[in-house]
Structure 1
């Protein structure tokens, strides 16, 4: 690049540097260097190997109201702008001593700024050894840069980072706490659903939960359905009250729990819905809340298995308990009643007749109505009992469900009178 001396000379003088049209390239470089150094924002100086001030850039002198004559020839650590602690003065002397031996040194320290609002100023300070052609250190080049604002920003960043860290820990703690609460809520919800399913059939429980107005204290509009084809089963332990009168409460409840748990298992296996237990009585129904065409067959299978289950309990416990079971088929109305302790219950003549079949039955037998008998087909062996008097209902024809039919069994055995 060609430097136009005439245009440079036209600038006259800068920082006590005069340009002329006759300046050669070397002269221009030297003058430019003098301007650069003089106008540098940070402090730049020149020391002898003993640390005596030889020169300093103009900007740093003017920033504290000094002239070069005020500091030239003085020890660097004693110059007036270096208003520092005795410890820092000692450090500066040590750094100058190390630099004079050829080491580049650098550190941060604080000075007391006399011309800058009497504030503490942080300096990034270094000393560069300057060598002659023989490699001997003849000058020292100190440089200082005000990093007060940088440190303030760094401190602010550090403070913000600490706040962010604390916030992150708080958020993490809150997230963990929310997770624990969610897990607890989910477990309570699972428990509530299990309890709800213990009280209500699954489809009915789902219908309740799906309603936005449903909550623990308020059952919404009535749930009621009519089923034209179901089979209702009632079972009762004969003379159980007398049997249990001499039994301690814990053993009594344990025995009933053992028996009814067996019945619950059978109800699930054969596809019946347990409706309720009342004392030592058990009620179930087939064909609801999900309709089933083989509802009577399901109930008959369960009734026979219930008798077998009671026999097994007797064998294990040494008892001689007996049971009556009554079954009837027909139409019912089913729905949810109650508010806090609600249940799923059935109503209708079919329910009443099934109850009479049980109460008017014979211990150790399963008694069914003509309506149920007609729906059983040829899978079971039945014996006709004849007509029985049913309280409030008059005379009803009844059959005993004996067992499942074998392949050789007469398919018309349901019409045979009891022998």
Structure 2
């Protein structure tokens, strides 16, 4: 602002503002004093002036108008006892302590509550400070109190804090729910793997996949029959000779453990040679080559497995000191394969080729592998045979058979 005629503000006539009268003949210092009084009176926050002991000397108009009192009602009284202060005894003690500290030259600041003039009215929160004012020698002469109503700010901060707590609680709930869902998902995946493993132990992999792909499949039934015709496969039956007599008096755990050890080795051979294990019945073992996925060398696979089974049982006998023997029968031809059962379903085979393979085993010789002409003709020159001749098979009649006695080349 430009200084005009030794004045800060040009006044053409008398001007009354905030109980202050500005005149055209006011000199510079007088005008500065009046403008400072206008500025002080117009401030929206509480501003006052205390002596070093906390006695009120002056207070701005905004503070007086806010509670409807005059300056002479509070001037000359201790700051903490003024009528317009409605505060608790604890806050009074706090203010006296703050004034004491400020009178020793310390700038102090804190928040405190001011109550309404009438009991039960809402409180307000004041951001309060005391600034020591010193003379040229450094002695504290006055204290400048300043206060701002920060109730809305505090309420907003409290609301933000509450929202943050709710948000944090929501995040924690979401995290717990996420962890619970993840745990549940992991359990479901683990149970699904167990179920799939059990299903694969019951059914060939392609059949299990066909069942899993059917959304209408439910736990206790198969809604549509699964059945396939295979024009050319090889079926193998094996049976431990006189196992019932051998196991008589054997403890159940030992009996099951012994069969499990033998048949587990047969399962390994079936996997290695590419046969599908069909089932075990007591001490009998059934497998097939060329299904559920066709294979041109199905007879060769079955022949290799039969010889491997004879060798595996020999190793078992040598290890355990037993003299167990097997009869193995093999036949080739057309079969029907499918899944039967409502619960505990099984993949099984039917047809004349299956019956004939079973008769090859039951009419066989201990320690030998008996095969039909159908299988013999499919095996070629890589195996050794002994002609047994024609036998009478129950329910079938005359059948010309061979003993599979070995390989012409070392097994792979």
Normalized against structure 1, the TM-score is what?
Answer: 0.90
Structure 2 residue 153 is matched with structure 1 residue 150: yes
Structure 2 residue 330 is matched with structure 1 residue 327: yes
**339 and 25 in structure 1: CA distance in 2 versus 1, 3 angstrom threshold:** farther
Selected match of 2:387 from 384, 388, 395 = 384
**175 and 258 in structure 1: CA distance in 2 versus 1, 3 angstrom threshold:** same
3-state SS of 2:293 partner: coil
Distance in 1 (alpha carbons) for counterparts of 2:149 and 2:9:
38
**14 and 324 in structure 1: CA distance in 2 versus 1, 3 angstrom threshold:** same
Correspondences of 1:78-97 after superposition (within 5 Å): 78-97=81-100
1:67 counterpart residue number = 70
> What's the CA shift string for 1:309-356, capped at 9, x where partnerless?
111121222222111111111121111111211011111111111111
Correspondences of 1:263-274 after superposition (within 5 Å): 263-274=266-277
Selected match of 1:187 from 190, 200, 205 = 190
Distance in 1 (alpha carbons) for counterparts of 2:295 and 2:203:
18
- 2:359/2:394 contact within 8 Å kept: yes
> What's the CA shift string for 1:123-144, capped at 9, x where partnerless?
2211011223333322211011
Between the two proteins, the alignment pairs up a number of residues equal to 407
When the two chains are superposed, the root-mean-square deviation of aligned CA atoms in Å is 2.3
Offset at residue 257 of structure 1 (A): 0.9
Selected match of 1:126 from 105, 122, 129 = 129
Structure 2 residue 39 is matched with structure 1 residue 36: yes
- 1:81/1:113 contact within 8 Å kept: no
Structure 2 residue 318 is matched with structure 1 residue 318: no
Offset at residue 162 of structure 1 (A): 2.7
Structure 2 residue 242 is matched with structure 1 residue 239: yes
Structure 2 residue 261 is matched with structure 1 residue 261: no
3-state SS of 1:274 partner: strand
Normalized against structure 2, the TM-score is what?
Answer: 0.92
2:220 counterpart residue number = 217
Distance in 1 (alpha carbons) for counterparts of 2:184 and 2:21:
80
Offset at residue 21 of structure 1 (A): 5.2
- 1:9/1:19 contact within 8 Å kept: no
**149 and 310 in structure 1: CA distance in 2 versus 1, 3 angstrom threshold:** same
Consecutive unaligned residues of structure 1, counting only runs of 5 or more, are: 408-419
3-state SS of 1:181 partner: helix
Offset at residue 31 of structure 1 (A): 4.3
Selected match of 1:102 from 101, 105, 126 = 105
Offset at residue 86 of structure 1 (A): 2.5
3-state SS of 1:298 partner: helix
- 2:386/2:404 contact within 8 Å kept: yes
- 1:63/1:115 contact within 8 Å kept: no
Structure 2 residue 342 is matched with structure 1 residue 339: yes
Offset at residue 97 of structure 1 (A): 1.9
3-state SS of 1:159 partner: helix
Offset at residue 64 of structure 1 (A): 0.8
1:289 counterpart residue number = 292
- 2:14/2:24 contact within 8 Å kept: no
Correspondences of 1:194-205 after superposition (within 5 Å): 194-205=197-208
**132 and 340 in structure 1: CA distance in 2 versus 1, 3 angstrom threshold:** same
Distance in 1 (alpha carbons) for counterparts of 2:261 and 2:52:
104
**329 and 3 in structure 1: CA distance in 2 versus 1, 3 angstrom threshold:** farther
Selected match of 1:165 from 147, 150, 168 = 168
User: Which stretch has the larger CA shift, 38-47 or 129-138?
Assistant: 129-138
**8 and 379 in structure 1: CA distance in 2 versus 1, 3 angstrom threshold:** farther
Offset at residue 30 of structure 1 (A): 4.6
Distance in 1 (alpha carbons) for counterparts of 2:406 and 2:28:
125
3-state SS of 2:266 partner: helix
Offset at residue 51 of structure 1 (A): 1.2
**139 and 6 in structure 1: CA distance in 2 versus 1, 3 angstrom threshold:** closer
3-state SS of 2:291 partner: coil
Distance in 2 (alpha carbons) for counterparts of 1:33 and 1:348:
117
1:113 counterpart residue number = 116
3-state SS of 2:342 partner: coil
